[in-house]
Structure 1
Amino acid sequence: MKILHLSAVRNWGGGEKHLENLCLELADNHPEVRTIILCRKGDILEQRLKEKNIRHTTARVFTNFDLRYAFKIIQICRKEGIDLIHIHDPKALALAIVADKFYNLPPFIFSKKTSFPIRQRKSTLYKYNYPKIRRILCVSEESRRVMAGNAEEFKLKQIYHGFRPKQEQERLSFLKIREKLQIPKGKTVIGNIGNHTWPKNLETFLETAFHLIYNERRKDIYFVQIGNFGRETSGLQKKLKELNLEEYFRFYGFIADASSLLPAFKVLTLTSQSEGLPNVLYEAAYYKIPIVSTNVGGIPEIVQHKESGLLAEAFNPEEIAKNILFILANKESAKKFTEKAYDKLLKKFTTKQMARETLEVYKEVLNER
């Protein structure tokens, strides 16, 4: 079985970690599957694939309809005898549709990795209902719900991305991590890992920090935010200064294998306004870091309030801050939450299970031809 994976994203995030994990898991446990990835030339994903020795090729992508990428799809399908194309982001989907107009491509599978609503534009609805798409793999039940009504129901299949312990780096010591991140002595770390995009709603993370530092007078806390800088960054940096948080809060930008830094966090805090199901939740559960998050997207499918973490409504920094204070003040409850999250991770959210379920979908689609 020959699978071509398409990714046209610029930055590294949970969706790209899913692609990497899927290919590694298939290679380890399903040798009957041969994969190749087409990614953007010169971006982080290409470097990661080189490091992990995952078979890939590249093409330039400067516009949403860059024909060089589209024609590269055709070239690979002809040369490799591709049976199925697995598409991992909307831009790659648009480029695959363009390529299909020039050459009869094999069937598509599309991975829906977000849960924000589908735009009700003709071009968007056409893209998600393109006849070559035989299945849409939704990262969470919430993602599946969002897609319902915007695509044929029988095509929707929910598969969690999962966690791959073999991918984790050797654990750094607590002191080494604090030294690497230059955490001031005596400070308790509240961390967030996520790219600077609007769904992550990092403005609320800043407002949560302000509330804890100045209203709750917790100047023993230091806030760490790790993730790719982007369009939102300048506004966030401006707000950081306006709130007078520079002594207590730092944006670190992209750090490779950021999950290895989680052991320094007393609490992982997500303030997102929209999510599919962020990969960092799996990583926090693995490292047994207490989770405080907003109750959006697929997050409550892995974090149950007062069972495996604490949830708050989006755009509510006071409630998020209250949950953080509860974790810091109640070590036994925090330990109970992390044990529950860890057990659930190993039972339900592994990449081994994800790869097996994905392969079943591949076989279904190929048997329908």
Structure 2
Amino acid sequence: MKILHISAVKSWGGGENHIENLCKELHKIAPSVQNTVLCVKNGLFHRKLVNSEIFYETVSINFKMDLRFCFKVIEICKKKQIDLIHIHDSTALTLCIMADHLYNLPPFVFSKKTTFPIRSRKQTLYKYNYKKIKKILCVSEATKAITAVNVNDPKRLVSIYHGTKVNDYDTTETLSLREHYNIEHSKRIIGNIANHNWPKDLDTFIKVANTLVNERGIKDLHFIQIGNYTTETSVLIEKIERLKLSKYITLTNVIPNASKLIPQFDISLITSKSEGVPQFIYESFLHRTPVISTNVGGIAEIIEHNINGFLSPSGNSEMLSDLVIELLNNSELIEKFTAISFKKIHDKYTTEMMATKTLQEYKLVLNGK
């Protein structure tokens, strides 16, 4: 079986992490499966793959419908006799459909990794109901339900949680956050890993810091936010400076292998207003770091409020602040949350399980089912 995984994303995030984990696990459980990744030349994903054993090819893309990308897809399919194309983002889907109009490509599997609804526009409906898409792999039940609204054949939808790698993962820390960013040992670290995109709602992350530090006078906290800078970053920095929080919030930009730093967090705080299921939660479970999150997308499928974490409505910085205080003052609750979450990650959300289920769907597609 020869699979071509396609990403048209220039950054590095949970979706790209999923591709990397999937290829590695498929190689372990089914060595006969040959995986090739096509990614954007000189993007963060490309740089990451350079140091991996995954076979990849690259192509430049300067605008959303760059035909060079289409021709590269066709070239790889011909050269490698690809059996199935696994498409990992909406831009890649557009480009693959364009390529399919130029050359008869193999069947598609598409990964839906967000809970953004499919818009009821003619072009968008055509794209997501394209004849070559045989399966849509949804990152959560919430994603599946939202996607089903505008998909003609809901039988094509399958939920597969991405999970995280629980065996042979490298725990070697890349740096000490306290030393590198001069954080006093008396301060508790509230951490977040997310790229600076609007669904992550980092404005609320800053509001939580402002509520706790400036309004409630809790000064023994430091907020660390790790993620790729974007056009939104300058607005976040301006707000931090305006609220006089520069001593209490650190934006780090990208840090390679950032998940290794999670054990240094006292709490993992997710403030997103739209999600599938963020990889950051799975990794926090694995590293026994307690999680406080907004209740959006598929998050409630893996976190039960007051059982293995805390959930809050999206945008409610006051409630999130209350939950941070409650958790920091209750070591027994932290122990309960982390123990249950650690067991959950091993029982339900491993990359091996994800790869096994994905391989099963590949076989069904290739067998015409």
Same fold by TM-score greater than 0.5? yes
Q: Alignment partner of 2:86: what SS? A: strand
Amino acid at match of 2:144: R
- Rounded to whole Å, the distance in 2 between the matches of 1:52 and 1:305 is 37
Q: Which moved more, 1:75-84 or 1:44-53?
A: 44-53
Amino acid at match of 1:157: V
Amino acid at match of 2:235: G
Q: Tell me the CA shift for residue 272 of structure 1.
A: 0.4
Query: 1:222 aligns to what?
Result: 222
Q: Alignment partner of 1:322: what SS? A: helix
Q: Alignment partner of 1:37: what SS? A: strand
In the TM superposition, what whole-angstrom CA distance separates every residue of 1:182-228 from its partner, at most 9, and x where no partner exists? 32342111111100001000000000000000122101101100000
Amino acid at match of 1:168: Y
Q: Alignment partner of 1:172: what SS? A: coil
- Rounded to whole Å, the distance in 2 between the matches of 1:172 and 1:127 is 43
Query: 1:271 aligns to what?
Result: 271
Q: Structure 2 matches for 1:234-245, cutoff 5 A?
A: 234-245=234-245
- Rounded to whole Å, the distance in 2 between the matches of 1:159 and 1:182 is 41
Q: Structure 2 matches for 1:1-369, cutoff 5 A?
A: 1-151=1-151, 152-166=153-167, 168-172=169-173, 176-368=176-368
- Rounded to whole Å, the distance in 1 between the matches of 2:96 and 2:360 is 23
- Rounded to whole Å, the distance in 1 between the matches of 2:283 and 2:64 is 32
Identity of aligned residues (%): 47
- Rounded to whole Å, the distance in 2 between the matches of 1:17 and 1:167 is 16
Amino acid at match of 2:194: G
Amino acid at match of 2:160: I
- Rounded to whole Å, the distance in 2 between the matches of 1:253 and 1:120 is 36
Say if 1:5 and 1:35, in contact at 8 Å, map to a contact too: yes
- Rounded to whole Å, the distance in 1 between the matches of 2:349 and 2:307 is 17
Distance 1:234 1:94, change over 3 A: same
Q: Which moved more, 1:342-351 or 1:144-153?
A: 144-153
Q: Tell me the CA shift for residue 167 of structure 1.
A: 6.3
In the TM superposition, what whole-angstrom CA distance separates every residue of 1:226-275 from its partner, at most 9, and x where no partner exists? 00011211111111112111111111111111011111111000000000
Q: Alignment partner of 2:252: what SS? A: strand
Q: Tell me the CA shift for residue 307 of structure 1.
A: 0.5
Q: Tell me the CA shift for residue 166 of structure 1.
A: 4.2
Distance 1:159 1:82, change over 3 A: same
Amino acid at match of 2:164: F
Amino acid at match of 2:154: E
* 5+ residue gaps, structure 2: none
Amino acid at match of 2:364: E
In the TM superposition, what whole-angstrom CA distance separates every residue of 1:51-89 from its partner, at most 9, and x where no partner exists? 111100000011111111100000011111100000000
Say if 1:208 and 1:317, in contact at 8 Å, map to a contact too: yes
Q: Alignment partner of 1:39: what SS? A: strand
Q: Tell me the CA shift for residue 171 of structure 1.
A: 3.4
Q: Tell me the CA shift for residue 170 of structure 1.
A: 2.7
Amino acid at match of 2:258: A
- Rounded to whole Å, the distance in 2 between the matches of 1:367 and 1:147 is 24
Say if 1:169 and 1:257, in contact at 8 Å, map to a contact too: no
- Rounded to whole Å, the distance in 1 between the matches of 2:357 and 2:264 is 34
Q: Tell me the CA shift for residue 181 of structure 1.
A: 3.8
- Rounded to whole Å, the distance in 1 between the matches of 2:128 and 2:202 is 29
Amino acid at match of 2:325: L
Q: Alignment partner of 2:224: what SS? A: strand
Amino acid at match of 2:298: G
Q: Tell me the CA shift for residue 302 of structure 1.
A: 1.0
Q: Tell me the CA shift for residue 176 of structure 1.
A: 3.1
Amino acid at match of 2:118: I
Q: Alignment partner of 1:165: what SS? A: coil
In the TM superposition, what whole-angstrom CA distance separates every residue of 1:78-137 from its partner, at most 9, and x where no partner exists? 111100000000011000011001100000000000012222221111110111000000
Say if 1:196 and 1:202, in contact at 8 Å, map to a contact too: yes
Q: Tell me the CA shift for residue 344 of structure 1.
A: 0.5
- Please list every run of at least 4 consecutive aligned residues from structure 1 whose deviation after the TM superposition is greater than 6 angstroms: none
- Rounded to whole Å, the distance in 2 between the matches of 1:328 and 1:298 is 25
- Rounded to whole Å, the distance in 2 between the matches of 1:20 and 1:44 is 13
